[in-house]
Amino acid sequence: MIKQILFALSLVVTLGVFTYTVRRLIAIFKLTKPAFPIKDIGKRVEVTLKVAFGQTKILRRSVIGLMHALVWWGFLVILVGSIEMVIDGLAGTERVLAFLGVVYNIIMASGDIFALLIALFIVAFLFRRIFMKVKRFDGIEMKHKSHVDANIALSLILFLMVTLLGMNTFYLAHATATGHEITGIYPVSQYLVGWFSGMNETQLYILHEANWWGHILGIFFFANYLPYSKHFHVFMSVPNVFFSNLAPLGKMANMENITKEVKLMLDPEAAFADAPEEEEAVERFGVLDAQDVNWKNYMDSLACTQCGRCTSVCPANITGKLLSPRKIVMNVRERMKEKAPGLLKDGVTFDDGKALIGNYITKEELWACTTCNACAQECPININQPALILDMRRYLVMEESAAPGELNQIFSNIENNGAPWQFAQDDRMLWAEELYLNK
């Protein structure tokens, strides 16, 4: 009974903290702008199964990709055991899902094997991060705290896997010592039991309980740590893929407020026919600050794994330019974290004298993008970095007239000549006159 009470209290605290975090995130999402309409649910489910659960983009890199995919698939299997632990903790039962029979045996055996594999892979990941100089793990956006955060998250996962194996091992050892029936199959832990053959029943029970509590409390802590960590993608990657923009990469969405203005120019009478009684507030063209991004942009920033695959394939970055697609996405999350408290307190009028463009992202970075979409193609969770860059460029052009000189020349030519070239419309075919004369 005492165990149940303590477990219930720890669960209530965990859910309370998690609920606070979720409510705060929902409030921040409400600060953002609308995105594209959510249609084609069947197609979205297909993409989610393929990209998020099937890990098809991760598996492009055979060895390290397979390791990451196995960690993800292992988490899904181990999640069933975690649910069972919650039920057992509240009800005071032991292995409550055992009624599933063969299915339960398969789940427990898979979880036991995955626990070992994930532990080994996490050690390998930590070794790569700490001792190997993997280029895509570095960059001006990857500050010291980013590396510490990654190491903490990986260490927590390692702790969870060790305690899971410990829990299974001492469960088998205690059941064997007391003559109790063993529920489930544990192909890895059964080999570890021999290491503790000299312990008595009490010692085995205490070690089982220590690992049980360590594992479940580790899960509770990890669940509330994730939203403030780079590993928030554990929660956000699946919904982020589901809400992917299904339009072909490279298709640039029109700005609704601009489309509306153009239609009014073509049909001025419509402006009076549908004119509201009160004048609408003038919308900002493009993105200047965090509250100007749409909800999908912000979701992208929360889901970003900071893996650096986008930056590693960026032709601008490869050729030495300042642009790093990963930095652009990370900056949105950082800026929103900085400004959101003021916006939630004082509303849209809040101004701290800073902005996403200028204080976080430079114009040089934005104009270095070739919109080739290599970053979006490579991203394992379908983040669309060029769409965000395009919106910030739109602000620079339409609000500040701050386009590079080459583009300003093109704009002038379009305005004066109806084409990007510096020739009058009547002179466009002069180049072909010699072709006809030579015939």
pLDDT in tens, 351-363: 999 999 999 999 9
Q: Domain check: are 135 and 187 in the same one?
A: yes
- Say if 423 falls within a structural domain: yes
pLDDT given for residue 409 in this prediction: 87
Q: Domain check: are 113 and 126 in the same one?
A: yes
Q: Kindly report the CA angle at 123 between 185 and 56, in degrees rounded to 5?
A: 75
- Say if 66 falls within a structural domain: yes
Q: Domain check: are 207 and 268 in the same one?
A: no
pLDDT given for residue 320 in this prediction: 92
pLDDT in tens, 19-29: 999 999 999 99
3-state helix, strand, coil in the chain (%, to 5): 70, 0, 30
- Say if 26 falls within a structural domain: yes
Q: Kindly report the CA angle at 390 between 139 and 339, in degrees rounded to 5?
A: 65
pLDDT(279) > 70: no
Among the ranges given (241-245, 314-318, 348-352), the one the predictor scored with the smallest mean pLDDT: 348-352
Compute the distance between CA of residue 35 and CA of residue 292 in angstroms, rounded to an integer: 11
How many other C-beta atoms are found inside a 10 Å radius of the C-beta of residue 371?
15
- Say if 40 falls within a structural domain: no
Q: Is 243 left (phi over 0), alpha (psi -120 to 50) or beta?
A: alpha
pLDDT given for residue 438 in this prediction: 60
- Say if 51 falls within a structural domain: no
> Is 87 within 8 Å of 93 (Cβ atoms)?
yes
Compute the distance between CA of residue 245 and CA of residue 384 in angstroms, rounded to an integer: 8
Q: Which residue has the tokens 């194996």?
A: 165
* Number of separate domains in the chain: 3
How would residue 267 be classed by pLDDT, with cut points 50, 70 and 90? confident
- Say if 110 falls within a structural domain: yes
How would residue 35 be classed by pLDDT, with cut points 50, 70 and 90? confident
How would residue 297 be classed by pLDDT, with cut points 50, 70 and 90? very high
pLDDT given for residue 434 in this prediction: 75
pLDDT(250) > 90: no
For residue 212, CA distances in Å to 176, 299, 375 come to: 18, 34, 42
Q: Domain check: are 398 and 261 in the same one?
A: yes
Find the distance separating the first CA and the last CA of the chain, reported in whole Å. Answer: 102
pLDDT given for residue 334 in this prediction: 95
Q: Domain check: are 312 and 367 in the same one?
A: yes
Q: Domain check: are 78 and 138 in the same one?
A: yes
Q: Domain check: are 226 and 297 in the same one?
A: no
pLDDT(435) > 80: no
pLDDT given for residue 262 in this prediction: 79
How would residue 281 be classed by pLDDT, with cut points 50, 70 and 90? low
pLDDT given for residue 272 in this prediction: 57
* Host domain of residue 264: 256-403
Q: Kindly report the CA angle at 214 between 208 and 218, in degrees rounded to 5?
A: 150
Compute the distance between CA of residue 84 and CA of residue 206 in angstroms, rounded to an integer: 20
> Is 289 within 8 Å of 356 (Cβ atoms)?
yes
- Say if 249 falls within a structural domain: no
Cα 95 from chain centroid (whole Å): 34
pLDDT(58) > 60: yes
Q: Domain check: are 288 and 180 in the same one?
A: no
Q: Domain check: are 92 and 198 in the same one?
A: yes
Among the ranges given (224-233, 386-395, 419-428), the one the predictor scored with the smallest mean pLDDT: 419-428
Q: Domain check: are 71 and 147 in the same one?
A: yes
pLDDT given for residue 276 in this prediction: 55
How would residue 301 be classed by pLDDT, with cut points 50, 70 and 90? very high
How many other C-beta atoms are found inside a 10 Å radius of the C-beta of residue 78?
22
Cα 83 from chain centroid (whole Å): 24
CATH at 349: 1.10.1060
pLDDT(277) > 60: no
Mean pLDDT of 166-190: 90
How would residue 257 be classed by pLDDT, with cut points 50, 70 and 90? confident
More confident residue, 348 or 21: 21
pTM (two decimals): 0.88
Q: Domain check: are 186 and 95 in the same one?
A: yes
Among the ranges given (1-10, 291-300, 377-386, 400-409), the one the predictor scored with the smallest mean pLDDT: 400-409
Q: Domain check: are 397 and 419 in the same one?
A: no
Which tokens hold the place of 175? 């059941």
pLDDT(222) > 80: yes
How many DSSP H helices and E strands does the chain contain? 19, 0
- Say if 131 falls within a structural domain: yes
Q: Is 95 left (phi over 0), alpha (psi -120 to 50) or beta?
A: left
Domain boundary among 240, 273, 292: 240
Q: Cβ neighbours of residue 308 under 8 Å, at least 6 residues apart? A: 136, 137, 139, 142, 326
pLDDT given for residue 52 in this prediction: 93
